[in-house]
Structures are given as C-alpha cells and as structure tokens.
Amino acid sequence: MSLKDNKYLTPRFHLFPTSGWLNDPNGLCQLDGIHHIFFQYSPDQPKGGEKTWGHYSTKDFINYEFSGVFMKPDLPEDTSGVYSGCAYVEDHKMYIYYTGNVKHAGDYDYILEGRESNTILVTSENGVDASEKRILLRSQDYPDNLTLHVRDPKVLCKDGIYYMTLGARTKKDEGCVIVFKSADKINWDFSHFIEKADFGYMWECPDLFYVDGKQFLSISPQGLEAQEYRFQNIYQSGYFNTKEDLLAEGDGLDEFTEWDYGFDFYAPQTYVDEKDRTILIAWMGMPDAEYGHDASIEDGWQHMLSLPRELVYDSKSKKLRQQPMAEIKELRDKKIDIKNLADIDTYELYLSEFGQSDFTIQINEGFNIKYSKLTNDMVFSFTDEMLGSNRTTRKLKLADGEKIENIRFYIDTCSIEIFINDGLYTFTTKYFKAKEVENTISLEGSIENIEAYSLKPFNINIK
C-alpha cells in the first residue's frame, strides 16, 4: 500500500491514520532502540467509530513503519472500544495497560449506568504481536464515589513499587485521578485520590512524570470555564507542578499550566527514551470541537499527531519548555528565502532578534499572529473561514516583563506548530488550504534574524 498524495492535504511530516480516524497517542515507549507510537484508531471511519490501537514505529523520528491495527475489541470487556492507555517497558517487553470500554445497549445515561471501564493488560515484544488480554480491574474495583467514567491507565515504577494513575469523574461531577499500587504489575490495590476543587467534571489521560527530578502531573480536564487568555478550547490539557509527592498523597498539586495555546492539541502522553529524554506527543485534534469542515474527511482520514517534543525544565519560570526533537533537524532540505515560497508547502522558519515593538506575521493571507507591546500578548487568528475551518481566535498573554525572544514555526501542508521563546509557549493548529493556494508568509515589524528551510517528508513504510 502506498500513501495518499494530495498536495493540499496529505501531511508530509506528521503521523496520520493514512485512512480513517486518529485520536490520542497511546503506549508511547522505546524498546530495544525502537520508538513505538500507538494511537486511538478507527480504520476506514474518518469521522470516528470503533476504537482500536494503530501502530507506528521508528528508530529516528524520520523513517517510520506503519503496521495498522495492533489490537481491537474482541472481548466482552472491551467490546465498545479499546480505549487509551500506556506501555511500561521491562525485561525487553511492553506491558500495555488500556481501558476496555463497554456500553450496554439500552436507555442509560452512560455516566452512572450502562457503562463498564475495565483495565486490561497485554504484552508485546514488537508492537505488532500481542499476548492474550488479561482483565486486571473492573468498574466495581474502583472507589464507590466515582461514576463509571474511569479510564486511561498510565503506569510507572518508583523505588521498586508500580503505580497506576487513572482519570475519573466523581458522582459529584468532579474530575480527579485515582492511584493504584502494585508489587508485580498484575495485582493492583487502590491507594489514594489526587484532586483539586472546582477544576472540571472529568480528568482524562493522566500522566505523572519527572523532568530533571521534578514531578509533574499532566491531565486533560473537561468542564473548565473559558477565560480571555486561558481554557479557550472546549476541553483543555496541561500540567501541574507539584509541591508534595503525588505518589504518596493527593493534595500536592501546585500551579496548572496549559500545554498549548492553539486550536488542536489534546490528550498528550509522555515517555522517557533510552537517552533519558522525556518526550511528549499530543493528538493534533480536539474532541467535540466544531470544525466547519475538515477537507481531509473527503480524502478518507482525519487528525494527526503532533511532532515529538522533548520536555526541558526551565528553572527560572519553573515551567516546562517543549522543543522539537533534535532528530527533526534532519528534515531540513535547503535554506530558502521566504519571499519565494511559491509551491514550498513544508518548511521551518526561525525568527529572532525582535525589536521590542508590535509585529504581525501572516501566513497564506488567512492566518495572522499579532504581538502587541501594549498588552504584551499574542493573538492568533484565522481571517479566512476556509483556512481556519470556522475557528477564529486564540490569545496568549506573556508574563510581566517577558519579551518575545524567538519563534520557531513548523509548517506542514495542513498543520502549523509554533514554538515561542524556546518552547516555553506553543501553539498547535490544523489548517485547511483551499485548492490552488500559493504559499506566502509576510512579516511586519522589526525582526532582525530570519532563517528558513524547506523540509523533506517523513519516510513512511506501510506494512
């Protein structure tokens, strides 16, 4: 099988389902040199449908193998979907934990009745062949104050003890994380809740991870009220700094920082690779969002994964920087002059040495980024309805006294990833070119240093 080749739609350096639907990245890990990137996948159903796990693998983030469906619903315990989960690597094996989703037919609300969320284990040595599925936890094994919304296990090991976090919704409609402990990866005992008052009704995809020895908890909360500069999408994703060890107790959450300020970024997951780098990949999409139209659906697929990003701790702001993996530099083809993009659809642009005044960057005459010195904010807006697919504006406020130092763009046929101030802020979006578009980028304001490269595509081998 070969990849589609639609000049205006086919992503060149982002992973996509090739046909069908993609959502959350799942089971991210590196095993014996190979990075495994699984994802929520409904083959042949570009608007979503039965959830399976699809599988990409790569040694270098440039050359990929796509091996299609890794596992699909085939048990009563996962009959309505093989939902999100993780891969924990030990003894040259992936221990894959996921949620078996069950929705019983009938007149149910599927919150308090009619649903099961089973935590299931399979193992694999190559991401292609899976062991038998083993049910580890069922809905009745979770605490009684929870609804039936409990899912997305992520497992880690600390000081010889295994911990599993699961996202949940309480009967009082509060989002939380529940923590289980195990000595053998198979038998799990409930340990404690991690919670925060008034912070949404459901927390999806929890991920407790460390960078530079500091502990963080990432969640994808639902039900946060939009503010001018925060929580601008229907659902959010971000991370808490922590002030107490969350593996020991549940009220150590500190400040919450959104991962991204764009339209399309949700359900990120992290893993640590063999070079000890913490890598984050997100779903470049947004559940239940109102896309006016998504031209890729006509082409038989929908949604992508973000570029893999390395997380780096910034001790000054106590925040995490997201930086495109060093390997991505290998995609650079030629230095280009941005005044002559013409039919260059994929490129990287780096801007620095900003005179400290207002500036505007315009991409394809329909997407604007405006920085205002007075308000010290950036406004990202689609002025072209087609290009933005009815999405309009997102805003980012810089911290007091903070300046724009640099901005790096990765522009693919149908997505834009922007890394501001070495990735302290990012903006990720899909965009939808009308046919016959001539690529342009224009800059207004004082920007002294401009570097741009055309980019080569990923090399994807479909098995």
Choose between 204 and 348: whose C-beta lies nearer to ligand FRU. Answer: 204
Q: How many CB atoms lie within 10 A of CB 109?
A: 10
Choose between 51 and 430: whose C-beta lies nearer to ligand FRU. Answer: 51
> Which residues participate in catalysis according to the annotation?
24
In angstroms, what CA-CA distances link 225 with 232, 244, 280? 8, 27, 26
> ∠ at Cα 276 (316, 245), nearest 5°?
60
Between CA 54 and CA 447 the distance in angstroms is 42
For the CB of residue 343, give the shortest distance to ligand FRU in the complex, in Å. Answer: 35
Q: What is the dihedral of CA 447, 453, 454, 456, to 10 degrees?
A: -140
Choose between 81 and 388: whose C-beta lies nearer to ligand FRU. Answer: 81
Residue 206 CB-half CA count within 13 A: 30
For the CB of residue 387, give the shortest distance to ligand FRU in the complex, in Å. Answer: 25
Choose between 73 and 308: whose C-beta lies nearer to ligand FRU. Answer: 73
Residue 127 CB-half CA count within 13 A: 29
Q: How many CB atoms lie within 10 A of CB 232?
A: 17
For the CB of residue 171, give the shortest distance to ligand FRU in the complex, in Å. Answer: 18
For the CB of residue 42, give the shortest distance to ligand FRU in the complex, in Å. Answer: 9
Task: Name the residue with tokens 């994802």.
Answer: 39
Binding footprint of ligand FRU on the chain (CB under 6 A) = 23-24, 40, 51, 83-84, 99, 151-152, 204-205, 266-267, 287
Between CA 326 and CA 330 the distance in angstroms is 8
For the CB of residue 49, give the shortest distance to ligand FRU in the complex, in Å. Answer: 10
For the CB of residue 214, give the shortest distance to ligand FRU in the complex, in Å. Answer: 26
Choose between 30 and 42: whose C-beta lies nearer to ligand FRU. Answer: 42
Question: What is the CA 332 to chain-centroid distance, rounded?
Answer: 24
Between CA 375 and CA 360 the distance in angstroms is 14
